[in-house]
């Protein structure tokens, strides 16, 4: 076992009692029960950590539970150990906290004693699970008795008993790091939320089918208005409502699936210069009609926005909620008085809805035209900024796009600095443009209280928290995003990815399965699930089965080519790897975190196959291609990382190490805890190609000491052909054994 037990302190262990009256023997039994569980028994490092801190507290040595001392005593670091540069104690403590929550959600749900390690501390807390809850309930009753309020006493007694039952039997679904059971909307009902609403896609009653963008735009606007009302607890996002566009399900079924009390449905008819909007609000629990209205007006933006505001106000009244001054102000706002600008804006949003943000040239063109017609159209500037930010982040890292995003968001901010959409767009710019997490979070923390039902804002904040290394802190925002948008696979799979980063692969796989039920054609989800299964079980055959599916082979996009090639390499199926490369429609696999000329991929395939002479010519070709690309994009970490492989394959040691190091410097882990580790992993691969095994093992040790993305786990490293020769090294074997049970 790692580490050494603490020496007995001045407090006798046999006399030790916690404040709750637990004996040492009881706590030791609970500790042993936890360590013997399936959740801890396979995790040597976390078991050693938990065992040490519990023993230290029982021995009266809590003062020794400091980060430096734990690094030395538990993880066998020497006296030069520096927690500022080596986060192993903080990382393992976070993993222990997560495993404790998982244990008490599953195997230990009925245990009499709870052991916890508060976040930010290493001294454990012990409490009697049932006794603690009963004491709290009794204390509440005593306080009420002292007030001699018999009626209130009876009421709260019932509440106290109910709370006690809930604590005993209901999983802590809303706590950070707890096991999340969030089924796909089509599978099970989820709990209803008070003062909640879902708005079904409006029916297009117009003679022209092309008017769908106008109808969907009004639907979106009404959702936006409702999401700003502080009196509503939950407004389901548009993405989740799409599945009900042509649904034959009853209002009761829809309400139950989404966990809402009310459902709004309606239709829009546009004819010449007239518009008719019909809506009705229904109680989804009892299928009872609450309110309806038909608006028949002249087609002007003022009338459209007035109708939208009246609908939101009527919904609020029907739900017996009170509007704040901020709510009233939001309802009375008029985004634009120019009908043509409004229609251009809605057309751009329709492209975004159906084809993706920033993926089409038409989006910025339409929005530019809208702002030209109305230079005060704040929402058009907002969408324009987000379109350019997204293009820079995911498609083309062109500084011109970043400048255009900044110009648009600056104009929006100058016009309406307090509008939540403006703050979200500014956060998006800081996040995607410069990974400036502090400023991005500042903007989101301003916006979210004003738009509490904006699922996208919670998701963006979760993305940022993850990238800056606050992995567990992202979980509540992802849970909230799923609650607001249960039919959207995106926040669900990001939550799965988050669990995978924390090493909680079984939970990750459950959520990947849920995501795939919502998006069955999404191959990316299959890939992520395959990595999670491999991380859980080194002998997993998921890669083998998946890589040979004809449906996977039919796709030739860059992401599919890259992952299918990597999977084939992990399977040592070099023939399939070459077939995959040859199926690419482009000479360079160019994606967000990869820039691979096909000759580099061919060269690596031949290199690991053992055909070094053939690989050399391919590496020369790839190196030339990468040099040309470097002149065009001089500070792209992807290009430096890829070039380090080519140079290593050619035996150019110094240049290869310099290129790999440059990639890490350009995109450090400190800037992006999720994808930054990829460049450290590539650095380790470069060292391994050069035959510098000790340096490669050192890089891998750095990676495994902290939570990393799905491409960094002991089992994935074992399957990677880059590290095949490291298996001969005792230091490598010892490193892997620290993190998995069998090697």
Summarize pLDDT for 465-483 with one digit per residue, the tens: 999 989 999 999 999 999 9
The answer for residues whose C-beta is within 8 angstroms of residue 442's C-beta and 6 or more apart is: 427
Residue (of 472, 467, 518) closest to 491 by Cα position: 518
pLDDT in tens, 598-638: 999 999 999 999 999 999 999 999 999 999 999 988 889 99
Extract the runs of DSSP E, i.e. beta strands, from 561-656. 588-591, 594-597
- Separation of alpha carbons 130 and 136, rounded Å: 10
How far is CA 540 from its chain centroid?
25
At residue 743, does pLDDT exceed 70? no
The 3-class SS string of 54-76 reads: HHHHHCCCHHHCCHHHHHHHCCC
At residue 184, does pLDDT exceed 70? no
- CA distances to 13, 26, 32, 214 from 16, in Å: 5, 11, 18, 71
Q: Place 711 in a pLDDT band, splitting at 50, 70 and 90.
A: confident
Q: For residue 68, how many other CB atoms are within 10 A of its CB?
A: 13
- Separation of alpha carbons 514 and 105, rounded Å: 20
Question: Which whole number is the average pLDDT over 309-314?
Answer: 90
Please tell me the predicted confidence (pLDDT) of residue 550. 67
Q: Place 384 in a pLDDT band, splitting at 50, 70 and 90.
A: very high
Please tell me the predicted confidence (pLDDT) of residue 43. 76
pLDDT in tens, 272-301: 889 999 999 999 998 899 999 999 999 999
Please tell me the predicted confidence (pLDDT) of residue 475. 94
At residue 151, does pLDDT exceed 50? no
Mean pLDDT, the chain, rounded, equals 83
Cα three-residue angle 362-364-368, rounded to 5 degrees: 115
pLDDT in tens, 316-354: 888 888 888 888 888 888 999 999 999 999 999 888 877
The answer to whether 345 and 259 have CB atoms below 8 angstroms apart is no
For 196-309, CATH number out of 3.40.50.2300, 1.20.120.80, 3.40.50.300, 3.40.50.10610 equals 3.40.50.10610
Residue (of 561, 591, 593) closest to 577 by Cα position: 561
Please tell me the predicted confidence (pLDDT) of residue 445. 94
Q: Place 160 in a pLDDT band, splitting at 50, 70 and 90.
A: very low
- Residue 53, token pair as written in the block: 């801190």
The better pLDDT of the pair 186, 213 is held by 213
Please tell me the predicted confidence (pLDDT) of residue 268. 94
Q: Place 146 in a pLDDT band, splitting at 50, 70 and 90.
A: very low
For residue 679, report the phi and psi dihedrals to the nearest 5 degrees. Answer: -75, -30
Burial 668-699 (b: 16+ CB within 10 A, else e): bbebbbbbbbbbbbbbbbbbbbbebbebbbeb
- Separation of alpha carbons 500 and 528, rounded Å: 9
The answer to whether 97 and 81 have CB atoms below 8 angstroms apart is no
Please tell me the predicted confidence (pLDDT) of residue 319. 82
At residue 117, does pLDDT exceed 50? yes
At residue 173, does pLDDT exceed 60? no
Please tell me the predicted confidence (pLDDT) of residue 213. 87
Please tell me the predicted confidence (pLDDT) of residue 521. 76
Beta bridge partners of 128: 113
Q: Place 84 in a pLDDT band, splitting at 50, 70 and 90.
A: low
Percentage of the chain with pLDDT > 70? Answer: 85
Please tell me the predicted confidence (pLDDT) of residue 246. 86
For residue 268, report the phi and psi dihedrals to the nearest 5 degrees. Answer: -130, 135
**CATH number of the domain located at residue range(s) 556-739 in this protein:** 1.25.40
pLDDT in tens, 635-683: 899 999 999 999 999 999 999 999 999 999 999 998 899 889 999 999 9
Whether pTM > 0.75 for this model: the answer is no
Question: Which whole number is the average pLDDT over 83-94?
Answer: 72
- Separation of alpha carbons 94 and 183, rounded Å: 26
- Separation of alpha carbons 92 and 508, rounded Å: 19
At residue 136, does pLDDT exceed 60? no
The answer for residues whose C-beta is within 8 angstroms of residue 708's C-beta and 6 or more apart is: 501, 673, 677
**H or E, element range at 116:** strand 113-116
Q: Strand pairing of 288-298 and 588-591?
A: unpaired
Region of 32 on the Ramachandran plot (φ > 0 left; ψ -120 to 50 alpha; else beta):
alpha
Residue in this structure with the two tokens 């892997």, named with its chain if needed: 736
At residue 446, does pLDDT exceed 90? yes
Beta bridge partners of 36: none
- Residue 450, token pair as written in the block: 């004003």
- Separation of alpha carbons 226 and 91, rounded Å: 41
Count helices and strands in the chain by DSSP H and E runs: 35, 10
Q: Place 360 in a pLDDT band, splitting at 50, 70 and 90.
A: low
Mapped onto helix, strand or coil, the DSSP state of residue 199 is strand
CATH 3.40.50.10610 residue spans of the chain: 196-309
- Separation of alpha carbons 596 and 636, rounded Å: 13
- Separation of alpha carbons 249 and 284, rounded Å: 12
At residue 161, does pLDDT exceed 70? no
Q: Place 150 in a pLDDT band, splitting at 50, 70 and 90.
A: very low
Mapped onto helix, strand or coil, the DSSP state of residue 287 is coil
Residue (of 130, 215, 190) closest to 165 by Cα position: 130
- Separation of alpha carbons 164 and 112, rounded Å: 14
Region of 519 on the Ramachandran plot (φ > 0 left; ψ -120 to 50 alpha; else beta):
beta
The better pLDDT of the pair 140, 386 is held by 386
- Residue 454, token pair as written in the block: 């904006």
The answer to whether 262 and 196 have CB atoms below 8 angstroms apart is yes
The answer to whether 637 and 667 have CB atoms below 8 angstroms apart is yes
- Residue 198, token pair as written in the block: 């879902």
The answer to whether 235 and 453 have CB atoms below 8 angstroms apart is yes
- Residue 268, token pair as written in the block: 């829009």
Q: Place 127 in a pLDDT band, splitting at 50, 70 and 90.
A: confident
Is residue 115 packed enough to be buried (19+ CB in 10 Å), middle (13-18) or exposed (0-12)? buried
**DSSP H helices in 287-377:** 301-318, 325-332, 339-355, 362-373
Please tell me the predicted confidence (pLDDT) of residue 134. 42
CATH 1.25.40.10 residue spans of the chain: 339-523
Q: Place 163 in a pLDDT band, splitting at 50, 70 and 90.
A: very low
The answer to whether 34 and 48 have CB atoms below 8 angstroms apart is no
Please tell me the predicted confidence (pLDDT) of residue 353. 74
**DSSP H helices in 435-557:** 437-447, 455-467, 475-484, 489-501, 505-518, 523-536, 542-547, 550-553
Please tell me the predicted confidence (pLDDT) of residue 556. 64
The better pLDDT of the pair 685, 77 is held by 685
- Separation of alpha carbons 500 and 536, rounded Å: 10
**CATH number of the domain located at residue range(s) 339-523 in this protein:** 1.25.40.10
Please tell me the predicted confidence (pLDDT) of residue 519. 84
Question: Which whole number is the average pLDDT over 115-123?
Answer: 81
The answer to whether 460 and 491 have CB atoms below 8 angstroms apart is no
Residue (of 122, 98, 38, 40) closest to 500 by Cα position: 98
At residue 154, does pLDDT exceed 50? no
pLDDT in tens, 516-567: 988 887 778 888 898 999 888 877 777 777 767 766 666 667 777 888 899 8
The answer for residues whose C-beta is within 8 angstroms of residue 361's C-beta and 6 or more apart is: none
**DSSP H helices in 170-250:** 212-227, 238-241
> If you average pLDDT over each of 61-70, 397-406, 457-466, 540-549, which comes out highest?
457-466
Q: Which range (13-17, 78-82, 514-518, 609-613) has the least confidence?
A: 13-17
């Amino acid at each position: 076992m790692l580490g050494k037990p603490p020496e007995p302190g001045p407090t006798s262990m046999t006399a030790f009692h916690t404040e709750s009256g637990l004996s040492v023997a009881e706590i030791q039994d609970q500790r042993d029960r936890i360590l013997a569980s399936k959740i801890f028994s396979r995790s040597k490092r976390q078991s050693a950590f938990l065992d040490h801190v519990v023993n230290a507290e029982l021995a009266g040595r809590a003062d020794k539970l400091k980060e430096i001392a734990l690094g030395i005593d538990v993880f066998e670091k020497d006296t030069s150990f520096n927690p500022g540069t080596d986060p192993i104690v903080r990382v393992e403590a976070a993993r222990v906290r997560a495993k404790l929550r998982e244990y008490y959600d599953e195997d230990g749900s009925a245990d009499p004693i709870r052991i916890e390690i508060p976040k930010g501390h290493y001294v454990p807390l012990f409490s009697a699970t049932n006794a603690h809850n009963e004491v709290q309930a009794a204390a509440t009753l005593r306080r009420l008795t002292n007030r001699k309020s018999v009626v209130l006493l009876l009421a709260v007694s019932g509440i106290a008993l109910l709370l006690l039952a809930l604590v005993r039997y209901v999983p802590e679904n809303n706590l950070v790091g707890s096991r999340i059971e969030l089924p796909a909307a089509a599978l099970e009902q989820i709990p209803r939320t008070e003062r909640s609403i879902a708005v079904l896609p409006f029916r297009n009653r117009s003679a022209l089918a092309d008017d769908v963008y106008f109808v969907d735009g009004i639907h979106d606007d009404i959702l936006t208005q409702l999401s700003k009302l502080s009196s509503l607890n939950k407004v389901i996002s548009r993405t989740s409502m799409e599945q009900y566009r042509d649904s034959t399900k009853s209002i009761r079924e829809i309400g139950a699936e989404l966990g809402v009390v009310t459902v709004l449905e309606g239709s829009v008819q546009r004819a010449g210069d007239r518009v008719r909007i019909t809506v009705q609000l229904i109680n989804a629990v009892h299928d009872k009609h609450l309110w309806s209205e038909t608006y028949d007006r002249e087609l002007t933006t003022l009338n459209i926005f007035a109708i939208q505001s009246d609908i939101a106000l009527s919904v609020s009244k029907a739900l017996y909620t009170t509007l704040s001054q901020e709510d009233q102000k939001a309802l009375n706002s008029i985004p634009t008085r120019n009908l043509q600008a409004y229609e251009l804006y809605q057309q751009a949003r329709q492209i975004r809805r159906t084809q993706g943000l920033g993926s089409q040239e038409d989006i910025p063109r339409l929005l530019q035209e809208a702002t030209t017609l109305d230079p005060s159209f704040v929402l058009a500037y907002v969408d324009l900024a987000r379109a350019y930010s997204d293009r820079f982040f995911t498609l083309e890292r062109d500084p011109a796009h970043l400048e255009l995003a900044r110009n648009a968001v600056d104009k929006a901010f100058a016009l309406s600095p307090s509008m939540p959409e403006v703050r979200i767009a500014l956060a998006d710019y800081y996040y995607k443009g410069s990974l400036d997490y502090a400023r991005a979070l500042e903007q989101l923390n301003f916006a979210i209280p004003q738009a509490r039902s904006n699922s996208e804002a919670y998701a963006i904040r979760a993305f940022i928290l993850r990238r800056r290394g606050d992995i567990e802190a992202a979980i509540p925002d992802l849970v909230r995003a799923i609650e607001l948008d249960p039919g959207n696979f995106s926040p669900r799979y990001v939550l799965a990815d988050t669990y995978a980063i924390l090493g909680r692969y079984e939970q990750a796989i459950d959520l990947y399965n849920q995501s795939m039920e919502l998006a069955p054609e999404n191959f990316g989800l299959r890939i992520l699930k395959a990595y999670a299964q491999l991380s859980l079980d080194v002998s997993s055959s998921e890669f083998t089965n998946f890589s040979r599916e004809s449906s996977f082979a039919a796709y030739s996009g860059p992401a599919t080519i890259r992952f299918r090639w990597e999977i084939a390499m992990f399977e040592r199926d070099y023939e399939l790897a070459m077939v995959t490369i040859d199926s690419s429609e482009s000479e360079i696999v160019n994606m967000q975190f990869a820039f691979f000329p096909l000759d580099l991929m061919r060269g690596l395939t031949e290199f690991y196959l053992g055909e070094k002479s053939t690989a050399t010519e391919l590496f020369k070709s790839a190196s030339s291609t990468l040099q040309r690309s470097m002149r065009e994009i001089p500070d792209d970490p992807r290009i430096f990382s890829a070039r380090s492989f080519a140079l290593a394959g050619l035996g150019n040691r110094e240049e290869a190490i310099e290129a790999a190091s440059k990639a890490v410097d350009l995109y450090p882990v400190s800037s992006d805890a999720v994808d930054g580790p990829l460049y450290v992993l590539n650095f380790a691969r470069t060292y391994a190609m050069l035959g510098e095994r000790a340096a490669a093992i050192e890089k891998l040790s750095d990676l495994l000491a902290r939570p990393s993305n799905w491409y960094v786990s002991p089992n994935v490293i074992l399957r990677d052909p880059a590290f095949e020769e490291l298996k001969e090294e005792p230091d490598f074997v010892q490193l892997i054994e620290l993190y998995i049970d069998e090697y």
